[in-house]
Amino acid sequence: MKTPVIIPAYNEERRIEATLNSLSSSEVEPIVVVNGSTDGTAALAHSFGVEVIETERQGKMPAIQLCLKEMGARALEPFILLDADTRPVFPKLWSSVMLRALQPEDPRPRAISAPVLFTKNDEDPKSTHVTAAARSVYRQVHGTLARVMPGAEPAYYGPNQAYKLATNEALQAVLALDHIWPEEDVAMTKAVIAHGGSFLQTIDNRMIVTSPESAAFAPLIDYIRRPNDVHASVADAYRRAAPPDSRPLEAI
């Protein structure tokens, strides 16, 4: 069976076409969840013949939860989460290696995150190739350290995740989550762990995806000298762009 790829999409008519074109039709089954969009995102997604779910409510977490409800029993099986402006570099390898990392033969819940190569966002005048590269390297280094240092906080790659909820308890825990944004990926992963599951921060470049920067970032030197301050400024930028009725993870 093809692996479902849940793609929440809010006003992504300029990017959703490239994302859907990048996916292997023989490997995955895209499900585009158009949430609160006012542009042509839904029409473009429909033109590809993929499954499209439309909702007036804006927000990534509610979109994911709605899709899981629509999937029924399939929501317990492995699925991938992909941002609507994000594309796998090696489409066939990406989905198959992500699926293997979920260990489908293991009955326990599992979550994984995979590498992201950030690119310059042409819509953001403050975005540069340097800051995009710096963010990519920072995430990769953070992810590597999280794997080898006991007690290190994992790095979560929001645009590129996969889950195997496996049990009704884990599924219901994810469905019961508040509208958390940003760090909805962290909340989902913590729900998996709290219900007997495990988390793997991967560094396998066969899983890599490209994604544009979605916020303005500090100069490269700040990534080196003050990584915690950079993380805080990124979080603040996301909060300022928060969808209605959402709350950051630490507020829950």
Exposed, middle or buried: residue 251 (CB in 10 Å: 0-12, 13-18, 19+)? exposed
Helices 60-71 and 168-175 cross at an angle (nearest 10°) of 140
State yes or no: pLDDT of 184 exceeds 50. Answer: yes
Cβ–Cβ under 8 Å, residues 164 and 78: yes
The DSSP code sequence of 64-79 is HHHHHHHHGGGGGS-E
How far out from the chain centre does Cα 66 lie? 16
Residue 202: what pLDDT? 87
- Interatomic CA distance for residues 217 and 198, integer angstroms: 31
Q: What percentage of residues in the chain have a pLDDT greater than 70?
A: 94
Residue with the larger pLDDT of the pair 240 and 111: 111
**Strand ordering across the sheet containing 87-88:** 87-88, 209-212, 116-119
Of the candidate ranges 19-28, 102-111, 136-145, 147-156, the one whose mean pLDDT is the lowest:
147-156
Of the candidate ranges 35-49, 56-70, 92-106, 203-217, the one whose mean pLDDT is the lowest:
203-217
What is the average pLDDT across 189-208? 92
Residue 223: what pLDDT? 67
Residue 252: what pLDDT? 42
Q: Which amino acid is at 222?
A: D
What is the average pLDDT across 81-97? 96
Residue 226: what pLDDT? 79
Q: How many CB atoms lie within 10 A of CB 164?
A: 25
State yes or no: pLDDT of 188 exceeds 60. Answer: yes
State yes or no: pLDDT of 191 exceeds 50. Answer: yes
Q: What is the pLDDT of residues 208-252, one digit of tens each?
A: 999 997 666 677 677 677 777 877 777 777 778 889 899 988 754
Exposed, middle or buried: residue 26 (CB in 10 Å: 0-12, 13-18, 19+)? exposed
State yes or no: pLDDT of 126 exceeds 90. Answer: no
Residue 26: what pLDDT? 92
State yes or no: pLDDT of 183 exceeds 80. Answer: yes
List, in order of start, the domains of the chain with CATH numbers.
3-251 (3.90.550.10)
Taking the chain, what is the end-to-end CA distance rounded to the nearest angstrom? Answer: 37
Of the candidate ranges 48-62, 185-199, 208-222, the one whose mean pLDDT is the lowest:
208-222
